[in-house]
Chain A
Amino acid sequence: MTEQRARNDDEFKDAGLYKGVHSVDLEEFYTSGHRTCQGCESALVMRGFAKVAGSRTVVTGATGCMYVANTSYMTTPWIVPWMHTQLAAGGASAVGMAAGIKALQRKGKIPKEKINVINFSGDLGAGDEGLGGISGALQTPYDLLIVIYDNESAANTDIQASGLTTWGAQTTFTPSGSKERIMQKRWKKNIAAMMAIGHPNVKYVATACATFPATDYLNKVKKALAAGGPTLLHTIDPCPKGWDYHPRYSNILGELAVKTGIFADYEIINGRVKYTYDLRKRERLPVKKYLEKQGRFSHFAEEDYDYVQSMVDEMWEEWELPGILPIKGGLSVERE
């Protein structure tokens, strides 16, 4: 294990990883003056990748909170070049930019240099409508990064359930009622792993929380941009608005998502898995500690907490790769 970790870190020795909070760059490339919610975690996702990528970067943002909230016409918080793209076009927008830049550089129409190409898409865009487009992007040879910022709802539209919403959550599409206490009956898609497993050419796929562990997300952006080829990051973004908690507590909710194991925090580097916060070896906190702090689960009965806990337990105790590969261990071979 130690040997493998050394190998993984070695691969990014030139990526300029931050060693501790005080080494983080101070300058912002996504700056104040955006219409995001108080306490918005996704804004920190934007801030983080822009900071790490720096000025030689182009960004597209798929329709969603981080589009609508961030830019109000005639104003923008972006310092790096940024463009809107359609809800399902996250992958394609990155491909279009990367291909265009590559062609122009090869033909000598613009100077040769490394320009980071980044798309961000929310859970609705990336997890549902844009899934195919991101898959397409991950099949290309281009250097590009797709950041899926996941606040678990169409928080831009009125807080409707998406394919990545946690089981049981109240949203405007899944209100708790007198007949049906639980309307959100879909289990969250395992999107990062799905993409990693389905696209073996991709050199770097990771999940992250923007604020926990400190600098981890920023370093994952660095690794993704350094890895080459198409890469993918999936962040869990506590959303004070749609999750109905006080904006002050975004950090603690992100931390609890990781520590309870409901959100698996890992990297897949050239096909090798590295857990960022390895809950196979640490105590997992009860998932209730995470759920009970959010108004969207305020309708939960004990059996609902128990159900979510049992699903999380299964994910960590029975999956072939905990939190990643939901195939249960041991091949079963039919015999005559």
Chain B
Amino acid sequence: MSLDTNDLIRLEVNYRGIFQKTLAKHISTDVVYVAHSEGKTAFSNGRYSDDPQRNGVPCANFAYISKSLSEEDLEAEASAAMDIKEAELVIVLDDTMVKGLEPWGHYGIRPINEKVISGGTILFVSSRTPAELSKLFERKSFSYRIATIRGEASFSGLWYFRDDMTDVRVLGAIAKLNPGIASIESVLSYVKSKYKSDQKVEAARTAFEEVTVAEVTPEEGIVWPYPKPVLPGWKEFEEGTVVRAVKRGFSLGPRGQNRNTDFKRGTNRTQRPVVRFDICTKCTLCWASCPDEAFDPTKEGYYDVNYEYCTGCGRCADVCPVDDCIVMVNEMNLTSNESFYNQYLKNPSSYVEEIESIKGKERTIPEHITGKGNIVKRVEKPKAFKEVR
């Protein structure tokens, strides 16, 4: 007789490498303890091949819960592999991952909702509405749910960890979305005994009450544009661990530099640099300081960001000597990875107008130590468009 796995719950926590590592670990660990407090079998693991976690790289932790399975049966069923294929509940700690995940080379850019099963749920920590997010999903043949708890992605740091209660808020939401994992009562009593903080208990309860849930129907989402690479058989690739190098090639202008086409890194990005070419002084610093070789030098001496490869570190914005020339903008505010320089060339003034409206009036500047958060600066009036002759 085959194993009855009907009550198996697989939970995946998607997060950005290193600065969300501690946070993600809290969640997958806490879920196990809470479920265990209700007498369930549970355990957790992380995707081993994510280590070492590069910052920004999408990573995943997993937790598995069952009322009836033994620990051994649960492990055999759920996680003999290093990654899972399906999940009842998918959690996303940075909503920009909705644009796709590319944790390794030769893996392709995969949809965030890839593992959600029919009737399952995907939960975001996001200040966007479910509809804004689900329109970027890969279209599926079945219905499932999307849920959100309000908040920006929490980059709470590594050695210095800032507790912004995202961990317990996610726990509270989990109790609402899948009571099979644990009831809210169990969550609250666990949070109280672990943290001895009424504030954290309150945060978990509020998240439980306020989590927004919507249905995602088979019509929603997009046909996923990125192919999934095929893994070749042992006869089909070179022996001696040989891989062909990137072919040499360079010309001035957008996309003029040859790059590794089998591993693009753009989905590592939470923010992207947006350049005001009209006020650029062509100092070269952004290009010279880019650790992802993402800037293409142009004929006219500007540097155009290749957004397929930019990981959004912000070094260019930091070294740029011209105030407000390169600004980091939340990735969700932009869609195209096409050359911005080409758009600028087509119509400089309307390009400037458009990016200024996307940039808005707030500039978010991070503190040096990641977990210490951001400083928000207001810019009342954007710099006027400067015609370049």
Contacts and interface: CB of A to CB of B under 8 A. Distances in A.
Asked whether the complex places CB atoms of A and B closer than 8 A, the reply is: yes
Interface of A: 21-22, 24, 26-41, 43-44, 47, 55, 65, 68-69, 71-82, 155-159, 170, 211, 214, 240-241, 244-252, 292-296, 298-299
A181 B159 CA distance: 13
A38 B104 contact: no
A104 B231 CA distance: 37
Contacts of B264: 32-33
B119 interface: no
A34 B55 CA distance: 13
Contact of B263 (A28, A35, A155, A299): A35
Nearest to B262: A75
A78 B247 CA distance: 9
Residue from B17, B18, B258 whose CB has the most chain A CB atoms within 10 Å: B18
12 contacts: A21-B285, A34-B265, A37-B54, A37-B56, A38-B313, A39-B315, A40-B313, A75-B260, A246-B370, A247-B55, A294-B368, A295-B158
Contact of A79 (B248, B292, B311, B328): B248
Contact of A26 (B248, B252, B258): B252
Given A31-B293, A40-B54, 9 more contacts: A26-B252, A33-B263, A35-B263, A37-B56, A75-B262, A241-B18, A244-B159, A247-B55, A295-B369
Contact of B257 (A27, A41, A240, A298): A27
Contacts of A72: 104-107, 263
Contacts of B288: 21, 24, 211, 214
A148 B205 CA distance: 52
Interface of B: 17-18, 51-57, 104-107, 157-160, 237, 243-248, 250, 252, 257-265, 268, 283-285, 288-289, 291-294, 297, 306, 309, 311-315, 317-319, 328, 366-371
Given A31-B260, A73-B106, A248-B366, A79 B246 contact: yes
B160 A298 contact: yes
B10 to A, nearest CB: 26
A116 to B, nearest CB: 15
Contacts of A245: 368-370
Residue from A37, A81, A249, A299 whose CB has the most chain B CB atoms within 10 Å: A37
Contacts of B105: 33, 35, 71-75
B159 A298 contact: yes
Contacts of A296: 159
B313 to A, nearest CB: 4
A323 to B, nearest CB: 25
A293 B160 CA distance: 11
Residue from B105, B243, B244 whose CB has the most chain A CB atoms within 10 Å: B105
B159 A295 contact: yes
Contacts of A24: 284, 288
